[in-house]
Structure 1
Amino acid sequence: MHIPKLSVVVTVFNEEENIKPLLDAVYSAMGELDYELILVDDGSSDQTIREVKKIANRRTKLIIFNKNYGQTTALAAGIDHATGQYIATMDGDLQNDPSDIPMMLNKAIDENWDVVAGRRADRKDGFVLRKLPSKIANYVIRNTTKVYLKDYGCSLRVYKAQIAQNMELYGELHRFIPVLAKQEGATMTEVAVKHHPRIHGDSKYGLSRTFKVIADLILMLFFQKYLQRPIHIFGTLGLFSFLIGIIINLYLLVDKILGADIWGRPILLLGFIFLLAGIQLITTGIIAEIIVRTYFESQDKKTYKVKEVFTGDI
């Protein structure tokens, strides 16, 4: 089986007007490179699939989902189907420029980087709705995860295949792929790349994703520190809570022995709450430990279903 040097993975969702310029740009940028192009259609309801099938060449493979699963799952499917030694990822809205990929690939090869991440040098987005929230999010993610990239929102990246294919992608963790890669021991660098304004279609993202990013960040921090030892966080919090409950109840016991009436006092209720919370947290930690062991020993199951795999023949 022929193994190409590069697999270019592009996720698309309702991008019918962008398909032709997208494919033209990729084919032109890749030139004589030994590559394959993998498009993942994430349940488009327009004519995206028809447009791909109309102009795709033999280097192009289209993975068609039976419904919309989200960008992270689509990205995971593309990486699963990639056969190249290196994997490049980018969005299908033409804001990323595929002409940057050869430069990034050469940097990864020549300098032996596991991940080369793009940084949008002159971002063509609105300041209030896109740039400002992005700057804040990048700052928070950098300083909480200690993975110091400047642009977590740029999808244009090049990975060594073994790094990309060992990452566990699910939910909406595509924003935190550099953090996941770092957990695999990846070395990474960041380079300036071109960025274009969206010409066709509408952005699939807005301010509504802010709370999702915060929730995913909390999950990511848990993964970084406690994925393989959840008892350390639940057990520690549980023991701390249990200890506070014991202290409160010992105080009330001494107070009772000295003749005080403790019934109905708010501190009595507080003591019982801390005791019960401690027991519950410790129990949760034990259950989480069992789940983690089951997770690492379980069979590999995909989080998506493929409706069709189409290979171009032009």
Structure 2
Amino acid sequence: MNISVVIPLLNEEESLIELHDWIAKVMQSNHFTYEIIFIDDGSTDTSWNVISKLSSLSKHVKGIRFLKNFGKSQALHAGFEKAKGDVVITMDADLQDNPDEIPKLYSMIVNDGFDLVSGWKKKRYDSVISKNLPSKLFNWAARKTSGVKLNDFNCGLKAYKNVVVKNIDVNGEMHRYIPVLSKNAGFTKIGEKIVQHQARKYGETKFGVERFINGFLDLITIWFLSRFGKRPMHLFGALGFIMFAIGFGFSFYLGIDKLYLNRTGRLITERPQFYIALSTMIIGTQFFVAGFLGEIILRTKRDKTRYSIKKELNF
């Protein structure tokens, strides 16, 4: 199979038929063998009914329905698990991603040898204040922190080699950082393509300004995991050593002053240095404990199901 199109969605009943017909037209005109995997992330409208109808009319359409809303990352993970195409394309269901971009994205993977190609919505139709400016700040921070030189981490339109999606773990809200996860997994040939962004035709956006706050928090998380995820003691042990050394230094100074200088005549417990020493040594010990716990958890962790599937179609 040439292409798997993975589409996570939440309450997009109005756009699904038009999106399906558009994708099918592109696939057929380019003679691709394909599958379209819709992942209904707990929709409360009739989205699943539309997916069921489409799957009954076409063997190319497959559906996954979550019991409730688990988030876009979990939906992508479920789609990646099922995808069989040599190239996996992800896009949003709101018609803001243009299916006509698929052949070029496919070519960049197959012919140009990229592991991953990310779309770049250079010209956007979103609000400048609520989306464009925060997005630019977010993308700048992501580039500086991760070392992945992309202009648009948030673009839902991406293409991957199948082996890439099978070897990355998308969880929490890490869908924004799939290129970073791919780089950390060893897939370093990452490209970018300017893609057409379209104004939302139906419904309302499901994401608010809070997604950028969450995005920055996730950026800190992925920075930590990429550098210290397999060796937490290297970070916490170093911090613990520094704090403990500071506390020991103050303790040593107080001991020398009390035994040999004793200029003030005050008790050690009456001096502020005593509490600095005590606090830093306790904090240092806690950092060491955190490092040990991190190492233990890393060695004993087990995979847990992060979402529950209610129904599947055509698998």
Q: Is the contact between residue 30 and residue 99 of structure 1 (CA under 8 Å) also seen in structure 2?
A: no
Alignment of 1:294 onto 2:300: yes
Q: Cα deviations across residues 100-150 of structure 1 (Å, max 9, x unaligned)? A: 011100111111111111111321111111110000000010011111111
Q: State how 1:239-258 maps to structure 2 within 5 Å.
A: 239-257=241-259, 258=261
- The sequence identity of aligned pairs, in percent, is 37
* Structure 2 CA distance for aligned equivalents of residues 216 and 120 of structure 1: 22
Separation (CA, whole Å) in 1 of partners of 2:109 and 2:72: 25
Q: Does 1:309 align with 2:312?
A: yes
Shift of 1:231: 0.7
Tell me what 1:146 maps to: 147
9, 13, 36: which one aligns with 2:6: 9
1:160-182 Cα offsets, whole Å, 9 max, x none, are 11111110111000011000010
Counterpart residue identity of residue 305, structure 2: K
Deviation for aligned residue 1:256: 1.9
Q: Secondary structure at the match of 2:192?
A: strand
Match of 2:289 in 1: 283
**Contact 1:13 1:41 (C-alpha < 8 Å) held by counterparts:** yes
Provide the C-alpha distance between the structure 2 equivalents of 1:237 and 1:193, rounded to a whole number of angstroms. Answer: 44
Q: Secondary structure at the match of 1:244?
A: helix
Letter in 2 for 1:29: V
CA deviation after TM superposition for structure 1 residue 54, in Å: 2.1
TM-score (norm 1): 0.94
Q: How does 1:1-314 map to 2 (within 5 A)?
A: 4-31=1-28, 32-56=31-55, 57-186=58-187, 187-257=189-259, 258-259=261-262, 260-261=265-266, 262-295=268-301, 298=302, 300-311=303-314
SS in 2 for 1:117: strand
The runs of 5 or more residues in structure 1 that have no matched partner are none
Amino acid at match of 2:120: R
Work out the CA distance in 1 between the residues paired with 2:270 and 2:203.
63
In 2, Cα distance between equivalents of 1:71 and 1:280: 35
Q: C-alpha distance in 1, partners of 2:304/2:61?
A: 26
Q: Distance in 2 between matches of 1:102 and 1:247?
A: 65
1:210 shift after superposition: 2.4
Q: Deviations over 1:77-98 (max 9, x none)?
A: 0101111111111111111111
SS at 2:224's partner residue?
A: helix
Q: Which segments of 5 or more consecutive residues in structure 2 lack a partner in the other structure? A: none
User: Deviation string for 1:26-57 (max 9, x for gaps)?
Assistant: 11122221111100000000111111222332
Root-mean-square deviation over aligned CA pairs: 1.3
The Cα shift of 1:301 comes to 3.9
